[in-house]
Amino acid sequence: MNGFKKIVVLAGLLAATNAMAEVENYKIDNAHSFANFSIRHVASKLSGTFSDVTGNLKIDRDNLANSSVDAKISLLSVNTSLAKRDEHIKKEEYLDVGHFADMQFVSTKVLASKNANESVITGKLTLHGVTKELTFPFKVLGYANDPWGGYRTGIEAKTNLKASDFGFTWAAKAGGPVGDDLEVTLLIEGVKTN
């Protein structure tokens, strides 16, 4: 009976080890990851990107519900293709990077999905000192070996934010030159670490 119990315990440990091994860890490559945005400017739209994205992804390919993300975006990296405008955007009147240099998203839940490459993620976004819960769809674009001996994954996600929800007063001004609605596209590339 003792021998049988040992076999059962060993089998359980092996199963648990295999289950844990299914979750792959990736470090976000900030040289190949971007948070792109567009927002109304007067009667048109302005687009730009935040190019400094860091953090970690955990992906379970067999069950995306076991996946998670913890990502930080430096607002200092804003780029709208005009340096003078970028410096203006960083000022207290707009992003106020002197007080709030980063935004961070930490997932709390990923929905189980029948599609192995698409799901919906929920988490907390902290921006401008305000934390809000967001839910939005994402897509795993694929997995591949890179030219430098590493292994990578790519993620794409899209969401919409209201700047006024995060305390940006410029967004609440009726008829102001800059709108309240932000369209955000996240293009994240991760390098496997396990």
Q: What is the pLDDT of residue 105?
A: 98
Q: What is the pLDDT of residue 149?
A: 95
Residue 8 maps to a domain: no
Q: Which of 109, 194, 189, 191 is nearest to 156 (CA)?
A: 189
What would the mean pLDDT of 2-8 be, rounded to a whole number?
Answer: 50
CA 38 – CA 76 distance, rounded (Å) = 17
Q: Domain of 142: which CATH number?
A: 2.40.128.110
Residue 15 maps to a domain: no
Residue 13 maps to a domain: no
Residue 72 maps to a domain: yes
Q: For the chain, what is the domain count?
A: 1
Residue 151, domain extent: 23-192
Residue 83 maps to a domain: yes
Per-residue pLDDT of 57-94, as tens digits, reads 999 999 999 999 999 999 999 999 999 999 999 999 99
Phi, psi angle pair for 18, to nearest 5°:
-65, -40
Residue 14 maps to a domain: no
Give this prediction's pTM: 0.85
Q: What is the pLDDT of residue 159?
A: 97
Residue 127 maps to a domain: yes
**Full DSSP string of 20-62:** HHTEEEEEE-TTS-EEEEEEEETTEEEEEEE--EEEEEEEETT
